[in-house]
Structure 1
Amino acid sequence: MSPSASSFAIAQAVGLTGAAWLSGNIFSLSLMGMPPLIETHHTENIPLSSVVKQWRTIYTYGAQRAPSIGLCTAATFFYLAWSVRESTPLSLITARNSSQVYCLAGALTLGIVPFTIVFMKKTNDRLTQWAQHRAEEAWTAEADAEVEGLLWKWTWLNAVRSVFPLLGGLVGLGVFA
């Protein structure tokens, strides 16, 4: 039994908005989350030992939520690909390569996972180590420099990571063209 046109349209809306929302959510940390946190170190004399603990809290929230949202969004794109595969009723009213395009959209959305593992893991692990230091432990100027550098590196890597679901959404949107 093939999916109905209305469930297909709902899935399109969920996939496209899910990808856009996930991308914006990830990017907002790099645009409006981390820079003000880092700035408080300079303007309000907040120690980087406190700032890195705040980063860890933000990171933990994201690590608990983003993967499931990304997985649901990608699963929606894969459902769409399955729905328009060759010989289905919906394949007759969609572009010929729609199934492959939806598969690509799903894969791009899931791209946040390998990118995080390959490019961000070392930075995440090192920042987590710094966040575990007790506040009373002496922080040197070299420690401050390393932590601030790592926080900025994470900010830029996270911004790049946000592009994957955005591209997934744009590719999924390309089916309409």
Structure 2
Amino acid sequence: MSWITILKPKSIFAACLLGGGLVLPGCGIVDKHVEWETVEPETYPVLKAIGYAPINAQTGDTESMKLIMAMKASKLDAYRELTEQVYGQQIAGSQSVSNLVMNSETMKSSVEGVIRGAKVVKTYPVGDDTYVTELTLDMKKVHDIYLTTVKPRKVKSVKYY
């Protein structure tokens, strides 16, 4: 039987301290200072998205109201496309089979996220019944906005005492 197994649990810590250099690294008693620095990517992509909306299908009493609603709908569609590019798209599907015969099949997709820093490049009608909005998202600008809220860091140096 070794002398550590004879010691009580409270005195094992004292044995670690008394054991010296051989046992001390295993005891985990090390004090250190970590210095951090921010990390910046080498390149930043510029994402582009286009949103479409039909004008005549919009609700509204006048053509002007329908046009304004189509403007808003095409902008939302462009933002949805940007969100897909940044965060991806979640797709869920299900199938139902009974007696080896397909009963039903459904598929659902969803996109969720926050887009900051997007810029409307153009907004214009195409033909008689479609409205288009073009957006860009400069990821450099997104990175700068991100840095104002959260400071990403990496280890710059570690000093052990």
Both proteins in one fold, TM over 0.5: no
Higher percent of residues as helix:
1
Per the normalisation by structure 1, the TM-score is: 0.23
Asked which structure has the greater CA Rg, the reply is 2
